[in-house]
Amino acid sequence: MANISCSSKGISIFLFLCIFFHSSALAAKTRHFKWAVEYMHWSPDGLENVVMGINGQFPGPTIRAKAGDTLHIELTNKLHTEGVVIHWHGIRQFGTPWADGTASISQCAINPGETFVYRFKVDKAGTYFYHGHYGMQRSAGLYGSLIVDVAESQKEPFHYNGEFNLLLSDWWHKSSHEQEVDLSSNPFRWIGEPQTLLINGRGQYNCSLAGKFSKSSINPPCQLRGNEQWAPQILHVQPNKTYRLRVASTTALASLNLAIGNHKMVIVEADGNYVQPFSVEDMDIYSGESYSILFTTDQNPSNNYWISISVRGREPKTPQALTILNYSPNSPSKLPTSPPPMPPLWNNYTHSKAFSSKILALMGSPKPPSNYDRRIILLNTQNRIDGYIKWSINNVSLTLPSTPYIGSIKYGLKNAFDLKSPPENFPLDYNVVKPAKNQNSTYGSGVYTLRFNTSVDVILQNANALAENVSEIHPWHLHGHDFWVLGYGEGRFTKEDEKKFNLKNPPLRNTAVIFPYGWTALRFVADNPGVWAFHCHIEPHLHMGMGVVFAEGVQRLRKIPNEALGCGLTAKLFMNKKGN
């Protein structure tokens, strides 16, 4: 970066140059991309498979932009029979809700052979990512990183000498198509645990980088030339420097724990928002979350160190993903001298909760409204509908309509979705720590219509699943907004719990976890005209109905691009009016 000091005390010509430099530096850019989505053969973990790639890459290309830039992405669908959309996870899409990339909600899926332009502003620096949001195309590998740097004139509130980016995912050998069929079957078939965890799309299924530390013969040491599609990306560092590690999780299922052997990590950013820096030995990251971590290479420089990713919250049947922190001038193939970090026990939720509770907004961050205008309590339950296993919210299992809400709400269509608003709460006598007495539920496509610019509380209430003594982690992700996480608690949320809310420095996030049998309280301002998904970021859970839809200020939208509405009842509406 050019380091020109612009002082007001210079001579006039220098001042002119300064102004010129400043304005050109400040001028936000429009960054153009041409992307084609297609299936391709790939070996994410050493076993050849089919992935959904972009421009021949898996994961898709990393986008790097500066805050204030406009991204202009021409996305061509080169699949043969499938539609496609891409969601820009964490980007709020102020003024461009049709670019949010959620099929059935913000746009029609892009048909095979067609091109759709995603054009939107990245208004806030941070660590983001993008991914498919149609069927289970995220599970098929449709994802990549989106990094927004601070604007040229701005500075991060911390210093570092270098930077790395890790996009975490999980991988099944069964195709996402077949997974879809499994999850939609009666009798139900669960997809099981992932075969492999991937770091930047790379994992090792048939071997282990840490093979020499393993007592079992199941995972022999990896024989790598280094140019394999599944060879780990090594992090090359100099001793005694500080590095920023960006990390985001786009897993379909797995909750993860990240550690860097022997190194402390200082968390400085979460979901594109600065947090009060705090130091940990290991950290949890749930699907849909992103973080920036600072670490200093202050350990014995003659060694290399493990970076490990492990499963949390589910009995781990998937090996740790590993890569190497390579201190210069050591050989990158020199293995660390000790075994990879041991993650906390998978069901040690105390550890997870302790981590979550440490995440607080950096001083000076926007504060939440002190009151809420509306509070919606969302109970999640596992259910049976006609024998099919589903997830429901307040007893409604979300089924998306074929006409996107953004069009059917804007044009007041009557038959596009359930016009009745879904329940604001659940029965008083529901026992969240026991299996439901009545495990029935219903399908629904209703919308929570939020009054524009009001303050909305959402209490996510976890409960027992179908089987006794089972309650799972669910990371909930909100489109179009950040929310403040006001607090976490155990058991059923009560009015009393409100007193414990953190209104002083709650962190702004776009994803928040609910712990087993617990609740999580969120607050946000409904200030972004559009229709927004709010859902469990676990792909099979969303597929099974675990989500809701918020709509706000849709009538304020002027022109929705035709391209977003050329399907279902909106297409019909326009074609009939023309009287073809």
Q: What is the dihedral of CA 503, 506, 509, 511, to 10 degrees?
A: -90
One of 47, 385, 466, 571 touching a second copy (CB under 8 A)? 571
User: Toward a second copy, which CB reaches closer, 84 or 432?
Assistant: 84
User: Toward a second copy, which CB reaches closer, 364 or 579?
Assistant: 579
Q: How many residues touch a second copy (CB under 8 A)? A: 47
Enclosing H/E stretch for 540: helix 539-543
d(CA 134, CA 87): 9
**Contact pattern from residue 278 through residue 297 relative to a second copy, giving x for each residue in contact according to CB under 8 A and a dash for the rest:** --------------------
Looking at residue 1, what DSSP letter applies?
A: -
User: Toward a second copy, which CB reaches closer, 61 or 112?
Assistant: 112
The least distance separating a second copy from the CB of residue 417, rounded to whole angstroms, comes to: 11
The least distance separating a second copy from the CB of residue 558, rounded to whole angstroms, comes to: 11
Take residue 522 and report the two structure tokens written for it.
Answer: 């969120």
User: Toward a second copy, which CB reaches closer, 59 or 261?
Assistant: 59
By the rule CB under 8 A, 444 interacts with a second copy: no
Q: Which of 136, 320, 118 is nearest to 232 (CA)?
A: 320
d(CA 359, CA 402): 39
d(CA 239, CA 138): 37
Strand partners, 38: 53
Strand partners, 274: 269
d(CA 550, CA 98): 14
The least distance separating a second copy from the CB of residue 59, rounded to whole angstroms, comes to: 18
By the rule CB under 8 A, 415 interacts with a second copy: no
By the rule CB under 8 A, 303 interacts with a second copy: no
By the rule CB under 8 A, 81 interacts with a second copy: yes
The least distance separating a second copy from the CB of residue 203, rounded to whole angstroms, comes to: 20
User: Toward a second copy, which CB reaches closer, 184 or 206?
Assistant: 184
Question: Which residues have C-beta within 8 Å of that of residue 198, sequence separation ≥ 6?
Answer: 44, 45, 168, 169, 170, 171, 321
The least distance separating a second copy from the CB of residue 542, rounded to whole angstroms, comes to: 12
The least distance separating a second copy from the CB of residue 111, rounded to whole angstroms, comes to: 6
By the rule CB under 8 A, 41 interacts with a second copy: yes
The least distance separating a second copy from the CB of residue 475, rounded to whole angstroms, comes to: 22
Distances (CA, A) of 292 to 203, 379, 510: 22, 31, 15
User: Toward a second copy, which CB reaches closer, 369 or 561?
Assistant: 561
Provide the strand spans (E) within 238-298: 242-249, 255-260, 265-270, 273-280, 282-285, 290-296
By the rule CB under 8 A, 558 interacts with a second copy: no
End-to-end CA distance of the chain: 57
Looking at residue 497, what DSSP letter applies?
A: G
Specify the stretch interacting with a second copy by CB under 8 A; choose among 253-261, 386-394, 504-512, 562-570: 562-570
Q: Which of 34, 51, 32, 31 is nearest to 42 (CA)?
A: 51
Measured from the Cβ of residue 563, the count of other Cβ atoms closer than 10 Å reads 14
The least distance separating a second copy from the CB of residue 103, rounded to whole angstroms, comes to: 8
Looking only at residues 104 through 163 of this chain, which bind a second copy when binding is defined by CB under 8 A?
104, 108-109, 111-114, 134-137
By the rule CB under 8 A, 506 interacts with a second copy: no
| Sign, CA torsion 246/252/256/261 | negative
d(CA 223, CA 206): 10
Q: State the residue for tokens 């093979």.
A: 211
One of 272, 341, 475, 566 touching a second copy (CB under 8 A)? 566
By the rule CB under 8 A, 47 interacts with a second copy: no
Looking only at residues 190 through 219 of this chain, which bind a second copy when binding is defined by CB under 8 A?
none
One of 5, 7, 415, 576 touching a second copy (CB under 8 A)? 576
Q: State the residue for tokens 């928002």.
A: 273
Take residue 297 and report the two structure tokens written for it.
Answer: 């290479």
d(CA 518, CA 514): 6
By the rule CB under 8 A, 443 interacts with a second copy: no
One of 177, 353, 358, 384 touching a second copy (CB under 8 A)? 177
One of 23, 163, 178, 424 touching a second copy (CB under 8 A)? 178
The least distance separating a second copy from the CB of residue 53, rounded to whole angstroms, comes to: 11
Specify the stretch interacting with a second copy by CB under 8 A; choose among 102-110, 195-203, 321-329, 523-531: 102-110
One of 170, 180, 271, 482 touching a second copy (CB under 8 A)? 180
Strand partners, 237: 327
Q: Which of 137, 163, 138, 159 is nearest to 148 (CA)?
A: 163
The least distance separating a second copy from the CB of residue 42, rounded to whole angstroms, comes to: 10
d(CA 100, CA 531): 9
The least distance separating a second copy from the CB of residue 83, rounded to whole angstroms, comes to: 6
The least distance separating a second copy from the CB of residue 189, rounded to whole angstroms, comes to: 8
Summarize as ranges the residues that interact with a second copy (CB under 8 A): 38-41, 50, 80-84, 104, 108-109, 111-114, 134-137, 175, 177-178, 180-181, 184-185, 400-402, 559-560, 562-563, 565-568, 571-572, 574-578, 580
